[in-house]
Amino acid sequence: MPELVPVVMTLVGGTADAARPGPDASPIIMSLSFPVNSGSDRFRIQWRRLALVLAIGLVAVALFTPLLAATGMKPAKAAVTLLRFAALATLGLGAGRSWKEESALFRCRRPLLVWGRGFLAGALPLAIWLVVLLAIGERRLDQFSTADFLAYGGRYLPLSLLIGFAEDLLFFGFLFAALGRKALPAALLYALAHFLKPEGTIDGGLLSGLRAIAGMGASLVSGLGRPIEVLGLVLVGWVLVGLRRESGSLWPAMGVHGGWFWLRQVGKRFSDDLVGDHEWLFGTSLFYDGLLGWLAIIATGLILTTTMRRRAWLRGEEEG
């Protein structure tokens, strides 16, 4: 148990991987950084950069949602896509010459190998959890052929890699750096972002972007009324940002996240939730949204971050 203490301290906001903008950092980075002191731990939260991200994101949604909607894309989906793309682009460009360091994509010797190991480490616990749910009667396995499984699973395999660039690079790469390398704020924003999906149908037209923004706000308020789901997503983000901080690279977190995503999609596709009286404990049709599912995820993160300190192969740093 004592060996978990430094891991927890690192995840909560220790000094591991606490990189600072160097002398070659762009003027943008230096002007957007504000020092904040908390005891002996000095870190920087780039408030202006964060405010710029929010402003550009909202303007992009308001202006370009009608254009994407005119091509046939649903306004709600267009708005979410625009907001994330604008945030990623603004944060990436704002990093200046520090973009490689902030992205954490270039510190791993064997990125795809590490991603694959992380994928297995993320998928295996949820696969075991799925078997447990099937065994106790909380889920029911559908009938399917091997060809169906391979086709569906193969379709989501590349998406499991792409989700790392769409989410992990944004939240645990550039945003993590803009937040002063603090884990909990990054995990919290990661969780809240999952509720920025407008509910219902949004009418098209020139004002569809503004309607989408209002829908995002209403969806966020609605999501805050589901505390177990919010807490579960914060734990997911906490684990992923902890892996990124502990390894110094984004690839282990991307792999684990990809494994969770793939197994969740496959699990929902080929098994059905049986409605019962303990959904808060075992989960709903979303598969791992119950308390025990979240605990399985947090246990995975603690085990990986603990062993990562001693085993270079988890980071892709073994010799050979």
202 backbone φψ class: left, alpha, beta (φ>0; ψ -120 to 50): beta
Of the candidates 267, 261, 303, 312, the one whose C-alpha atom is nearest the C-alpha of residue 113 is 312
Digit-coded pLDDT (tens) for 221-258? 999 998 878 888 898 899 899 899 888 899 999 999 99
Would 294 be classed as within a structural domain? yes
Digit-coded pLDDT (tens) for 22-38? 434 333 333 333 233 33
Would 171 be classed as within a structural domain? yes
- Percentage with pLDDT > 90 across the chain: 47
Range scoring the smallest mean pLDDT among 13-27, 123-137, 252-266, 274-288: 13-27
| 13-17, 190-194, 201-205, 276-280: which is most confident | 190-194
- Identify the burial level of 78 via C-beta atoms within 10 angstroms of its C-beta, where 0-12 means exposed, 13-18 middle and 19 or more buried: buried
Question: For position 147, what pLDDT does the model report?
Answer: 93
pTM reported for the whole predicted model? 0.79
Would 320 be classed as within a structural domain? no
- Percentage with pLDDT > 70 across the chain: 76
Of the candidates 131, 153, 117, 133, the one whose C-alpha atom is nearest the C-alpha of residue 263 is 153
**Owning domain of residue 65:** 4-314
Would 208 be classed as within a structural domain? yes
Would 10 be classed as within a structural domain? yes
With H, G, I as helix, E, B as strand and everything else as coil, classify residue 283.
coil
Question: For position 233, what pLDDT does the model report?
Answer: 87
Would 29 be classed as within a structural domain? yes
Question: For position 264, what pLDDT does the model report?
Answer: 86
**Token pair recorded at residue 269:** 């596709």
Digit-coded pLDDT (tens) for 87-100? 999 999 999 889 99
**How many domains does the chain fold into?**
1
